[in-house]
Structure 1
Amino acid sequence: MQKTRQKKDKWKGNKEVSIDWKLYDKSRLSECRRILDLTQVFHGLDQPVQRREFQLSQLVVLLLFKILFGLSCRGIANATKDLRIYQALGMKRAPCYKTIQNTMNHLHSMVLAEINQLFLPTHTQLGGVDSSGMKTHRKGAWIQVRFHHYQQKKDFKKIHIFVDLLSKKIIYCLVTKGTASDHKQLKKILKECDWVRVDIILGDKGYDTRECFNEVTSHGSIPGIKVRKNASRKARGCPSRRRAVIAQQENMDDWKQKMKATMRCVVEAIFSGTKRRFGEYLFSIKARFRRVEVWLRTLLWNVLIYPR
């Protein structure tokens, strides 16, 4: 029986790549140097001057290396000593693992949020908000069989981020429990981001509430939130949502082009990139330390992101 040959049409939609790969490779090779240079950014953590053998600005850089390479506190302590990283940081000797671990006690998420503003512009055209889950326990199958400790339910935390879609940098992040609703966190995020001006804020159907539309409008931005299929055209105290419902029901393609809604996928790409580079697990146990860890991941992403 003779097989029929299917004609494969040549794909004409070739994507134009405008990335200078030489500069990209050069940027990747200088990642460790850029992290070491962050001691000047964290210099404010050393004030007021205290009688410490190791400065907090130096220890925070070691925490960033820990997250970047996915090491334990003992592992980064050994690497600091064997690879002489402590000399590059200006230390007299390498700190022990307990000193690096106790650095989390002296950090606060609000201080790290202020430091993060140094890497961001004060005005952007497009912003996006979304959430994703992060695992909290690294328990493999062998650990469960060996110690007879089986997990009945996998615990996870929800990470909410507000992103500059043009520079691919994270403006603000928030950690909540896994069952928290997305639309309830938008007000908290925009309240902490009053220093940045965003023209259009994009969001998925999880933010389709009148409260979210009003919060985005009061922030001085245009809500680019996709509404549900059965959305009502009645305003009911939210004229911005009424305009969005009418525009999407009459011509969805025109609304997407006007709001540049296809750029919302950048938020998903950032979640994917951070999990691939820094891991899918949170190594901290306490809630306060988890907030600090997420902010350290945010700073690390904003420093290492390649501008495109």
Structure 2
Amino acid sequence: SDGTGMKTSNAGEYRIFRYGDPEARQRKHLVVVITADVRRKKVIGIEVHIEGKGHSESRTAVAHLRAATEKGFRVRKFYGDGAYDTRQMFAALQESGTAPVIKIHRNAQTGRRHSPGHGGWPRRRAVREYRKLGYRAWAEAKGYGMRWPGTEGVFSAVKRKFGENTVSRSPRGLEAEGYQRVWAYDTLRDYGEGS
């Protein structure tokens, strides 16, 4: 699972560099969060919102994970960057029997008082394992690089095919456009593979 931003204005980089950006404080990005199958590169869940208005990436991923397990899918591993290093995420992963492959924050604490409540133990175990191995050995052992083709590859392809700038102006239109871009890419990919 991962998230990206799309520009909501079509101001060119040169224009901003040359004349400044008078609307910089009020301009928001369109945030697109997807959960995808890393092997098949199939999008499982999409969430689109305007920056500052929607749920966090980890909360969205928990919802996508629960929806997938309710539909009968078995999620073996969950790949995520540091944005998914939350107790709630680790609790949901333990609940569904999914192995976490989440990059741990550099300043993560392992004591009980630093991670009280539901979901503390799975995260503490992951933090200790991450610290014991170090980043490179941990990434190699867990296969952390597998998250790139699943989510970053999808985002790269969507932006390459449809561009990074959105055309819509209204908030509803922006959200619909974000959904449509990811959905259209996923549908075209399925058609190209003959499935």
Shorter-normalised TM range: 0.7 to 0.9
CA distance in 1, matches of 2:8, 2:139: 36
Unaligned runs of 5+ in 1: 1-128
CA distance in 2, matches of 1:189, 1:288: 21
Shift of residue 176, structure 1, vs aligned partner: 2.1
Indicate whether 1:240 and 2:129 are aligned: no
Structure 1 contact 200–259 (Cα < 8 Å) conserved = no
Write out aligned runs for 1:285-300 (5 A): 285-300=169-184
CA distance in 2, matches of 1:244, 1:137: 40
SS of match in other structure, 1:240 = helix
SS of match in other structure, 1:293 = helix
| Residue in structure 2 matched with residue 276 of structure 1 by the alignment | 160
Unaligned runs of 5+ in 2: none
| Residue in structure 1 matched with residue 33 of structure 2 by the alignment | 160
Indicate whether 1:220 and 2:97 are aligned: yes
Aligned residues: 175
TM-score where L is the length of structure 1: 0.50
Of the candidates 72, 86, 102, which is equivalent to residue 209 of structure 1? 86
| Residue in structure 2 matched with residue 261 of structure 1 by the alignment | 144
Structure 1 contact 169–301 (Cα < 8 Å) conserved = no
TM-score where L is the length of structure 2: 0.76
- Distance change in 2, residues 1:140/1:205 (3 Å): closer
Q: Identity of paired residues, percent?
A: 29
Structure 2 contact 32–49 (Cα < 8 Å) conserved = yes
Shift of residue 286, structure 1, vs aligned partner: 3.1
Write out aligned runs for 1:175-190 (5 A): 175-179=48-52, 181-190=56-65
Q: Which has the higher contact order (CA 8 A, sep 6+)?
A: 2
| Residue in structure 2 matched with residue 106 of structure 1 by the alignment | none
Which letter does structure 2 place at the counterpart of 1:173? Answer: I
CA distance in 1, matches of 2:6, 2:103: 25
Deviations 1:212-242 (A, max 9, x none): 1112222331111111222222353422112
Which letter does structure 1 place at the counterpart of 2:80? Answer: G
For the pair shown, the structure with the greater C-alpha radius of gyration is 1
